[in-house]
Amino acid sequence: MALSSPSIGRRVAARFLDMLVALLLVLCTNVAFIGHQQADAISMLTLLLFILYLLFGEGLTGQSIGKKIMGIAVISTKTGMRAHPLQSLGRNFFIYFFFPIGFLIELISLLMSGPRIGDLIANTRVVDLRHTGHNNEPAISPLTPDLERDSSSATNAWIATSKANTSQLKGQESQGGEHDNTAGRT
């Protein structure tokens, strides 16, 4: 089953929601600590959290808050599993480090229906989780631990290898047995 890409509108809406979440975090924290002796330090910490959320927001589950709401997720093109935190950093670094030029370049690449530069750098892809599986179930669940998927894949690979080895041994036994019987007759 092939995973489809979400519409540009849903991707842009997810990014907008993520920016909104990050800005609300900064705003609420700054309002809560107005007049506090350490207000400047708290503002700097909040700014750091803002940046970390934007860079690593989808790195733990494959989905940021905006992506979760929009029903999309980031997966690794190499493994097909949710993106690793370093991949999240790689795909978002270009946008924010070179802001606003990086943001505009990424938006143009999206509008041209191509992969984002960040996705090319990080070997990631954004996929649509809505209506991609059987009975409208998601084709992947970014919230499912990788260990479960890895172990089931490893188990399936082990079973397939065991069956192949068993078939190969049976084939060798039948060939070897016939050869031995022929040799015994001479």
pLDDT tens sequence for the chain (186 residues): 567 889 889 998 998 999 899 889 888 887 887 777 787 788 788 888 888 888 888 888 899 999 999 999 999 999 989 999 999 999 988 888 888 898 888 888 888 877 888 999 999 999 999 865 544 344 454 444 443 344 344 434 434 544 454 455 455 555 554 444 444 444
| pLDDT in the model for residue 43 | 79
Are 129 and 159 within one domain?
A: no
| Residue 170 burial (CB count, 10 A) | 10
**DSSP E strands, the chain:** 72-76, 124-128
| Residue 62 burial (CB count, 10 A) | 29
Number of structural domains, the chain?
Answer: 2
Are 161 and 181 within one domain?
A: yes
pTM over 0.85, yes/no: no
| pLDDT in the model for residue 37 | 79
Owning domain of residue 183:
145-186
Phi, psi of 82 (to 5 degrees): -55, 150
Are 132 and 150 within one domain?
A: no
Classified as helix, coil or strand, 76 is strand
Are 112 and 136 within one domain?
A: yes
Are 73 and 118 within one domain?
A: yes
**Is 2 part of any domain?**
no
**Is 1 part of any domain?**
no
**Is 120 part of any domain?**
yes
Are 107 and 133 within one domain?
A: yes
Are 64 and 123 within one domain?
A: yes
| pLDDT in the model for residue 20 | 93
| pLDDT in the model for residue 170 | 52
| pLDDT in the model for residue 64 | 93
**Is 174 part of any domain?**
yes
Are 70 and 34 within one domain?
A: yes
